[in-house]
């Protein structure tokens, strides 16, 4: 039997891993309740064994979402997490403990919605937003002020009167359901994986380095706590009402509660009413209203004693599996899909739920005709969470993952180190071909109006389009032979094809369906290469030197352009007049040969120019950018938060490490 000390060590290791999955990878393996149960077990065992204390234990820290792409800033007041409860009884116990700790003082509780997004701290001076910092590790977070400024519900200049000259307000950045559904539809149309839930989407969006993309996605924010030395009131509720008058979005659900009975009624009401909200919530928060009482109650090592979170149980339904189908994506990835007896869940009828890949399907151990538990991730995306094995039909056989492509019969292959099975018959598998056509004509790619999924399939079936280059040979007469195409709609497609010849080169690269190359990566690759001719000639090592291009993308991109059929397709696109190079820019012209023969590795975050701008400066002055440090590297241009591995390797090899001021001095721009 495992003793307590071994169990403590095992729990610490497991919880560190789950923290990383949730806060860094945005890919949690367990739900909040399971995580909290593990945490409570660890807290209990650590209390029994204080001699085995560890300052780095998960019980002593807050999970981190810090990104290396941003400057970090220390919080004025630590941003601690809240203790979680999962039943009305546990909330009632917290209220009773609070009353006892305050020795019979009259206690008001403020009930609020717990929004499912990304925690944010906003600092205002003289009525103007000056800094926005993510929750991070609780002590410091990422400075995301430029991205926050794109959120229209966050005031840049306060209105009204009565606000302190300096204060901090905290809240949650989130993505409304409608914006989430629109974003996922766009991502699927572009061949990118959809976000699992609005929380992941909000988190991923806020960490983007391009505020223009952030602005497009439509983030929102609700504010829920005011901090500072000169607040207008001595209680939380009135301070938030004041904040609302200054222009902040404060939930109308915030309510003052005067008894345990009112707290219980508040929980019962919102357990149902939350489903009609335009944003995702995962619970409620209860806070002691009086700031003086909050101060008296104080904090534990990781959370305030004057507040607690109540987590809603995920709504789930039990329904029968009709059959499992296997969808083929444009990149050949095979996805198992559970086709279900229709069931009502969170206000919508669910008939299908993805099981993502073979590993997940096996872990669920699904048999034919099983009764399956279905939940909605983030109350949006249906997912299978379990099987009612007691209801399993006698003699039911396990559902097996297919060994051959369901569309073309080709044996599937599995890339080493990855979960997905792939059909390698990219030139003969109809769903892949049609998917690539549909992707190519999409709004963020070549933007050819009038061709959707059905039309793309019809173009292939009629033999008019076998690969995307065939689009540029289409005629209105051919389109007119397809059912539903009138002369006017046919001409609209032809006009769209002609107009697509002026689409920027960056979008042409994205439209080609290069494995793992999304819109942002395509833009960076295209700009770094400058032309299709150069891009087709780049080695994996040269590709990997481009920002955000790792070994996998470098290898698959080089392989894509080494394929003879792809090269012929690209040649035909060029002959049709599709743009094959970035537009000439005088700012990219060579300036000098000051850095001729010198190779540079860039690492870290810079203040005066972006990484891409420094790469361009190196090339304009005759130097060369490389992706990794070796004995042949001449300089490392280092900004803030340089990767420790690169720093150690550069020091070990004796390679000069220069900052941006030294570099600009080298090229005479200081």
Beta bridge partners of 375: 316, 383
Distance of CA 380 to the CA centre of its chain: 15
Q: Any catalytic annotation for residue 114?
A: yes
| Residue whose C-alpha is closest to residue 21's, from 59, 58, 64 | 64
Q: Please, which residues have CB within 8 angstroms of residue 389's CB and are 6 or more apart in sequence?
A: 370
Residue 289 CA to residue 256 CA, distance in Å, equals 8
Under 8 Å between Cβ of 392 and 414: no
DSSP 208: -
Strand partners, 309: 84, 285
Among 259, 246, 261, smallest CA distance to 157 is for 246
- CB-CB contact of 652 with 661 (8 Å): no
Taken as a whole, the chain contains a residue count of: 670
Is there a contact between 248 and 155 (Cβ–Cβ < 8 Å)? Answer: yes
Rounded Cα distance between 313 and 298, Å, is 29
Closest CA to 219 of 152, 167, 170: 152
DSSP string, 176-198: -HHHHHHHHHHHHHTTPPPPSSH
State the Rg of the chain over Cα: 28
Q: How far is CA 467 from the centre of its chain?
A: 32
Contact 372, 366 (CB under 8 A): yes
Give SS3 for 73. Answer: strand
Buried/exposed code over 208-233 (b: 16+ C-beta within 10 A; e: otherwise): bbeeeebeebbbbbbbbbbbbeebbe
Q: Which is it for the CA torsion 641, 645, 651, 654, positive or negative?
A: negative
Asked if 489 and 451 count as a contact pair (C-beta separation under 8 A), the reply is no
Q: 413: which strand partners?
A: 422
DSSP symbol at 500: G
Q: Which residues pair with 320 in a beta bridge?
A: 371
Of these residues, 106, 114, 351, 426, which one is catalytic? 114
Dihedral sign computed on CA atoms, order 255, 221, 161, 145: positive
Please identify every residue annotated as catalytic.
114
């Amino acid at each position: 039997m495992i003793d307590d000390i071994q169990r403590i060590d095992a729990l610490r290791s497991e919880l560190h891993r789950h923290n990383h999955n949730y806060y860094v990878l945005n890919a949690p393996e367990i739900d909040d309740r399971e995580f909290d149960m593990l945490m409570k077990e660890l807290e209990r065992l650590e209390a029994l064994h204080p001699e085995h204390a560890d300052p780095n234990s998960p019980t002593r820290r807050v999970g981190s979402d810090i990104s290396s792409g941003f400057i970090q800033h220390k919080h004025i007041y630590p941003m601690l997490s809240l203790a979680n409860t999962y039943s009305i009884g546990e909330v009632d116990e917290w209220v009773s403990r609070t009353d006892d700790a305050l020795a019979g003082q009259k206690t008001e509780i403020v009930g609020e919605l717990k929004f499912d997004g990304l925690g944010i701290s906003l600092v205002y001076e003289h009525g103007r937003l000056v800094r926005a910092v993510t929750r991070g590790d609780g002590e410091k977070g990422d400075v995301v002020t430029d991205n926050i400024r794109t959120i229209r519900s966050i005031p840049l200049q306060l209105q009204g009167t009565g606000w302190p000259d300096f204060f901090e307000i905290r809240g949650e950045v989130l993505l409304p359901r409608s914006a989430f559904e629109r974003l996922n539809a766009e991502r699927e149309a572009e061949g990118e994986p959809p976000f699992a839930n609005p929380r992941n989407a909000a988190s991923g969006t806020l960490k983007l380095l391009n505020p223009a993309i952030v602005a497009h996605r439509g983030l929102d924010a609700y504010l829920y706590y005011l901090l500072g030395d000169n607040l207008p009131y001595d209680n939380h509720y009135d301070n938030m009402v004041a904040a609302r008058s200054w222009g902040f979005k404060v939930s109308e659900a915030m309510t003052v509660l005067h008894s345990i009975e009112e707290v219980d009624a508040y929980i019962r009401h919102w357990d149902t009413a939350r489903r009609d909200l335009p944003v995702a919530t995962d619970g409620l928060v209860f806070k002691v209203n009086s700031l003086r009482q909050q101060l008296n109650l104080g904090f534990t090592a990781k959370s305030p004693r004057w507040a607690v979170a109540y987590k809603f149980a995920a709504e789930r339904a039990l329904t029968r599996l009709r059959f499992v189908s296997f969808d083929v994506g444009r990149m050949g990835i095979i996805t198992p899909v559970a086709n279900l007896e229709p069931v009502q869940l969170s206000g919508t009828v669910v008939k299908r739920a993805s099981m993502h890949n073979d590993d997940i399907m096996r872990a669920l151990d699904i048999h034919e005709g099983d009764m399956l538990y279905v939940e909605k991730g983030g109350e949006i995306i249906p997912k299978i969470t379990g099987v009612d094995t007691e209801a399993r039909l006698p003699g039911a056989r396990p559902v097996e993952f297919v060994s051959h492509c369901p569309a073309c019969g080709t044996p599937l292959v599995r890339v080493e180190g990855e979960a997905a099975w792939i059909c390698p018959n990219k030139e003969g598998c109809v769903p892949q071909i049609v998917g690539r056509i549909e992707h190519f004509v999409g709004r963020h790619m070549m933007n050819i109006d009038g061709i959707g999924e059905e039309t793309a399939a019809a173009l292939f079936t009629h033999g008019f389009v076998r690969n995307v280059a065939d689009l540029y040979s289409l005629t209105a007469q051919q389109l007119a032979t397809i059912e539903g195409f009138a002369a006017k709609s046919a001409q609209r497609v032809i006009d769209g094809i002609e107009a697509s010849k002026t689409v920027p080169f960056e979008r042409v690269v994205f439209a080609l369906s290069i494995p793992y190359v999304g819109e942002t990566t395509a833009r960076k690759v295209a700009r770094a290469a400058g032309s299709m001719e150069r891009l087709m000639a780049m080695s994996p090592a040269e590709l990997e030197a481009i920002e955000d291009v790792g070994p996998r993308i470098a290898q698959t991109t080089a392989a894509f352009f080494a394929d003879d059929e792809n090269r012929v397709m690209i040649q035909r696109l060029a002959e049709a007049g599709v743009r094959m190079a970035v537009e000439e820019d005088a700012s990219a012209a060579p300036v000098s040969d000051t850095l001729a023969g010198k190779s540079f590795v860039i690492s870290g975050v810079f203040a005066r120019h972006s990484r891409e701008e420094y790469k361009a400066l190196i090339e304009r002055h005759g130097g060369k950018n490389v992706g990794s440090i070796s004995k042949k590297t001449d300089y490392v241009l280092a900004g803030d938060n340089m990767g420790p591995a690169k720093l150690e390797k550069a020091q070990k090899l004796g390679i000069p490490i220069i900052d941006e001021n030294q570099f600009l001095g080298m090229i005479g721009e200081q």
